[in-house]
Amino acid sequence: MNNFNLGFQTQGRLFHQLPAEELYQQALARKEASASRDGALVVLTGPYTGRLPQAKFFVRDAVTEKTIDWGKVNRPVTPEKFNAILDKTRRYLETKELFIQDAAAGADTAHRISLRLVTESAVHALFAHGMFIRTPALSSAQGPDLTILHAPGLKLDPAGDELGCDAFILIHFSKKMILIGGTGYAGEIKKAVFTWMNFILPDQGVLPLHSSANFAPGASETALFFGLSGTGKTTLSADPERVLIGDDEHGWSDQGVFNFEGGCYAKVIRLSAESEPEIYAAIHRRGTILENVVMDSEGNLDLDSEKITENTRAIYPVDFMPHMTVEGRGGHPRHILMLACDAFGVLPPVSRLSPDQAVYHFLSGYTAKVAGTEAGVKAPQATFSACFGGPFMPRPAALYAGLLRDRISRHKAGVWLLNTGWIGGAYGQGKRIPLTYTRAMVKAILSGALDSASYEKDPVFRTEVPKSCPGVPDAILEQKKLWPDPAVYNAAARKLAGMFKQNFEATAHANLTGLENAGPVI
């Protein structure tokens, strides 16, 4: 074990860089997962079925003191506390059989990191194999750029260990190490690596993106799809007429857009073969891992069930998608689409943004939760997450926004706001905009059909709304006319505008000018 420079000797067997099929068999033999009728592995992650923001900490030292945006999201831990948890994690892992999986993040080799996951779990080693860029095993002389010690079975004492939670995600940039324990939710591994990339890449002149990306066959220009969970990033980028780069995490360098990952981590609640055939096919095959999906005794999946959680997930290699690029790279974006699932039903279904409005909405990162998506949510609830990924952006949001503004200007990218949520009323009164219409709007944007359309300015949100769009009834495009009572719409629009304003004022962004008239009018 000393060859891996982990600081401890293992007492159990060590499995280094097993291929996917062997990891699959190990997961079944160790009863970490069950197999569906189609061969996908079905995993229960335990009491935690989503991320734990309250368990995530960064080591505060000379490297991070003045670079991390410290606050409620980015919380500090001392080097001494990190070392204490590191010792506890090492003592725990040294008694286990361990799986060591080497991989990489960053399809652009100029901005790539090598990473090593050390875990007690075969299924999480398989997750790393499918989720990250597959590489040969590192030699004993090669140290990884990042080591992740993963101990899902290790629970802390919330009081005695002073972190306030029995799970932990501790990130130490100086030691090039991440500790994860107390949770089997694989998304913690994925997002910890994403957070790492978001910290290091701005210093390399690269804008990290919480977005999906694709391009037209034979063309170098890329489309980006920003959006929080449930807004449609994965769905809209999986277009059979376009080439998928990736569904969630990218970088925008001087050479273009590149995927951080080698796999997809799709939300699959209520997924259907009719609406999303490519993703549906990908999750019904050997090599996919399904988290917290309900399955009966005969191996049949129930994708509509939220009995375990609303946040059911599928992990599969990106090459399970029929229209994708193995290179994981594309050219500079021509179109940027910002997605919001507006459960208040007031945002226009599609509108064009000025460059300043693009920065404003990037910093706002708006969507809305609806009843049923989280415990305790009984009515539409606005969510704002800077850069469409606030929990994963350790540096000041203004830094990322400045990089975005520069790239929009340099590459003349058009920016659009799409409401993938409700029209004609809020959740419970209106209806969800049909996916076929949203797809038609996306197609019109990417084909250039909306470039020559006639527009009128939305009086509240000040964005430019097209009067017509191929494949979409004109009546769908103007929210106010879809509501039974215009006065009720006006009140709802003013309410949401006020939420935008309140959020933006509460998160003032230094060194950014020109945004005074970019937000909505109350």
pLDDT in tens, 136-151: 999 877 889 999 999 9
Q: Could you say which of 233, 242, 361, 443 is catalytic?
A: 233
- Mean pLDDT value across residues 366-394: 78
The contacts of residue 346 (CB under 8 Å, 6+ apart) are 426, 460, 479, 489, 492, 493, 496
pTM of the full predicted structure?
Answer: 0.94
81 is annotated as an active-site residue: no
Residue 520 within a domain: no
Q: Mean pLDDT, the chain, as a whole number?
A: 93
Shared domain check, 87 and 212? no
Q: Is 51 a catalytic residue?
A: yes
Catalytic residue (choose from 313, 335, 395, 443): 313
- Co-location of 119 and 223 in the same domain: no
The Cα 206–Cα 47 span in angstroms is 37
Does 51 have pLDDT greater than 80? yes
The answer to whether residues 482 and 444 belong to one domain is: yes
What is the number of other CB atoms lying within 10 angstroms of the CB of residue 419? 27
13 is catalytic: no
292, 181: one domain:
no
Q: How confident is the model at residue 230 (pLDDT cuts 50, 70, 90)?
A: confident
**Do residues 222 and 274 share a domain?**
no
| Those residues with Cβ within 8 angstroms of residue 388's Cβ, 6 or more apart along the chain or in another chain | 210, 211, 226, 227, 228, 338, 362, 365
Q: Of the residues 319, 340, 357, which one is the last residue of a structural domain?
A: 319
Number of domains in the chain: 3
210 tagged catalytic: yes
Verify whether residue 16 is a known catalytic residue: no
- From the list 96, 191, 242, 369, the catalytic residue is 191
Q: 466 and 342, same structural domain?
A: yes
Q: H or E segment at 336? A: strand 333-340
Does the annotation count 191 as an active-site position? yes
Give the pLDDT band (50/70/90) at residue 513: confident
Is residue 113 within 8 A of residue 145, CB to CB? The reply is yes
- Kind and range of the H or E element at 143? none
For residue 150, the domain's CATH number is: 3.40.449.10
The pLDDT score that the predictor gives to residue 143 is 86
Residue 521 is assigned to a structural domain of this protein? no
- The domain that holds 388 is classified in CATH as 3.90.228.20
Which amino acid appears at position 428 of this protein? G
395 with 449, same domain: the answer is yes
Asked if 198 and 208 count as a contact pair (C-beta separation under 8 A), the reply is: yes
Residue 372 lies in a domain: yes
Q: Does the residue 517 lie in any domain? A: no
The pLDDT value given to residue 291: 98
Q: Are residues 105 and 215 in the same domain?
A: no
Model confidence over 108-133: pLDDT tens digits? 999 999 999 999 999 999 999 999 99
Say if residue 179 is in the same domain as residue 308: no
Question: Out of 108, 166, 247, 248, which one is annotated catalytic?
Answer: 248
CB 418 within 8 A of CB 441: yes
How far is it, in rounded angstroms, from Cα 351 to Cα 441?
Answer: 10
Short-list 502, 366, 514, 386, CA closest to 522: 502
Quick one: pLDDT band at residue 375, thresholds 50, 70, 90?
very low
Domain limits for position 186: 2-33+55-204
Could you tell me the sign of the dihedral formed by the alpha carbons of 35, 37, 40, 45, in that order?
negative
Give pLDDT, residue 1.
43
51, 112, 129, 250: which is the annotated catalytic residue?
Answer: 51
Q: Is residue 183 assigned to a domain? A: yes
Q: Does one domain contain both 359 and 301?
A: no
Confidence of residue 175 (pLDDT cuts 50, 70, 90): very high
CA 205, distance to chain mean position in Å, is 21
**For residue 7, what is the DSSP state?**
S
Would 259 be classed as within a structural domain? no
89, 234, 237, 463: which one is catalytic? Answer: 234
Residues 465 and 428 in one domain: yes
